Amino acid sequence: MVQWLRQSTQAERRTFWACLSGWSLDSLDVNMFSLVIPTLIASWHVSHTEAGLIGSITLGGSALGGWLGGALADRIGRVRALQITVFWFAVATFASAFTQSFEQLLVVKGVQGLGFGAEWAAGMVLMAEVIRPEHRGKALGAVQSGWAVGWGASVLLYAALFSLLPADMAWRVLFALGLLPALLVLYLRRSVQEPIRAAATLPRPGVGQALFGIFRPATLRVTLVGVLFGFGAHGGYQALFTWLPTLLKTERHLSVVGTGSYLGVIIAAYWLGCVTAGQLLDRLGRRRTVSLFAVGCIAITVIYLLLPIGPTAMLLLGFPLGFCTAGIPASMGTLFTELYPKEVRGAGAGFCYNAGRILAAGLPAAVGWMSNTMPLGKAIGIDASLSYSLVLVAVLLLPETRGSTFDRQARLSSPAPDGVVRDAVT
């Protein structure tokens, strides 16, 4: 990662650090919830199904937010949209600290989800348009690795606060710290410029075109397959990691420190998986990289959750679990931004990445419901492995986009004879 970053221009580096920070802080805010599920279940006497519903509402909100946020980036610019979305999800997370009931938290988490999905769309398109094509996979994979940074920070804060404060107070303080990402807006205003390509003197798309242009005949097939891809990717991830802390605490009977240790191994591996996927995207291509990681996800999920293994084996297998699950989301930003023309690039990438969440939003609740009649680990394993199988199917239906530029015309509906799309539509 260091070599290509050193070769980058100042504008590329500033944009990279801004997008990486935004996604890391986004992850910090979102991952807090999965860590406090056991506390909410005990304090508010909610069921597993109700707790899963909060996660599902957040995902549903992020699906809508990703579409709207991407369209907003196409209409008003990538940087301005990123500022708005970062501030949105930070304030919503802060507001979660003051909720007094399950119903209030349900609403606030839905609002938070809007900003969460929108931030990804604005940030990924901004980074994709600034970076050079030969480094796009590495750059966007590294940006996606920020998810592990924020995830790790949330686990550390969770361990510290729940060790020092009563549980009923600790979760509120944890959510209150979610306001910190709002400070990133100040850096964005001072240091990050709108991409030249995005700021070119072309008429801004109308509201209808920005939102619904991705359903035109030329891009409809890509959009539909992209939704299937997003469903599998997010369904697998959410089935696993919404409930994994609860699994470790309730079925594996680990303490706060023990849960943090297990998650620490997975998170470190997730970061490495993102960075590795970024390198492979530029070396092997988009389709081969995603296929490799999808097969790995299916295999390790079956072993980790559906086979009878002990605590030591779980700890050791946590590394390949985190590594494999990272490669798919690390590839999505690169792949989706290269499939759409500039006037709907934000909406297209945001919709594909997040629309699958509308379907995947039911997975946390489904896992909770299934756990009423089977072990929680088995419920997670079944849902996650089936979801990752959909990713493998979807990526085989998409064209290869490695080497795409954003400066020349090409037709997505008419790839070269070898199936490779050489250039994305401008």
Closest CA to 259 of 309, 328, 314, 313: 314
Residue 323 in any domain: the answer is yes
pLDDT at 419 over 80: no
The alpha carbon torsion through 65, 173, 50, 357 (nearest 10 deg) reads 20
Extract the tokens encoding 187: 């850096």
Nearest Cα neighbor of 155 from 245, 74, 45 is 245
- In a domain, residue 190? The reply is no
Compute φ and ψ for 89, nearest 5 degrees. Answer: -70, -25
**Average pLDDT for 377-392:** 88
In a domain, 1, yes or no: no
The single-letter code of the amino acid at 408 is R
- CA gap 63, 60 in Å, rounded: 5
Task: Name the nearest CA neighbour of 353 among 207, 241, 233.
Answer: 233
In a domain, 404, yes or no: no
pLDDT digits (tens, 9 = 90+) for 276-327: 999 999 988 899 999 999 999 999 888 877 777 776 777 777 788 889 988 9
Q: Is 49 within the bounds of a domain? A: yes
Residue 328 has pLDDT above 50, yes or no: yes
pLDDT at 323: 92
Average pLDDT over every residue of 327-354? 86
d(CA 53, CA 21): 28
Inter-axis angle of helices 10-44 and 136-144, nearest 10: 30
Confidence grade of residue 254 (pLDDT, cut at 50, 70, 90) = low
Total domains present in the chain: 1
Could you read off the pLDDT of 118-166 as tens digits, one per residue?
888 888 889 888 888 888 889 999 998 888 888 888 888 888 898 899 9
Q: Give the pLDDT score at 31.
A: 81
- Compute φ and ψ for 352, nearest 5 degrees: -65, -45
The CATH number given to whatever domain includes residue 180 is 1.20.1250.20
Ramachandran angles phi, psi of 407, nearest 5°: -115, -15
pLDDT tens per residue, range 176-209: 988 887 788 777 777 788 876 544 445 565 666 6
Query: DSSP state, 306?
Result: I
Compute the half-sphere exposure of residue 383: CA atoms within 13 Å on the CB side of its CA: 31
Residue 292 lies inside a defined structural domain of this protein: yes
When the pLDDT of each residue in the chain is averaged and rounded to a whole number, the result is: 80
Rounded to whole angstroms, the Cα distance separating 56 from 17 reads: 30
Name the residue with higher pLDDT: 246 or 69: 69
The structure tokens 């650090």 sit at 17
Structural domain that includes position 167:
8-185+207-396
Which of 32-36, 223-227, 260-264, 362-366 is the least confident region?
Answer: 260-264
Residues 6+ apart with CB under 8 A from 256: 158, 159, 162, 163
SS3 97: coil
Please identify which residue in the block is written with the tokens 């994709």. Answer: 128
Q: Give first-to-last CA distance, the chain, whole Å.
A: 28
Sequence-separated (6 or more) residues with CB below 8 Å from residue 418: none
CB atoms under 10 Å from CB of 100, counted, come to 8
Alpha-carbon gap, residue 361 to 217, rounded angstroms: 28
Residue 260 confidence (pLDDT): 62
Question: How many residues make up the chain in this entry?
Answer: 426
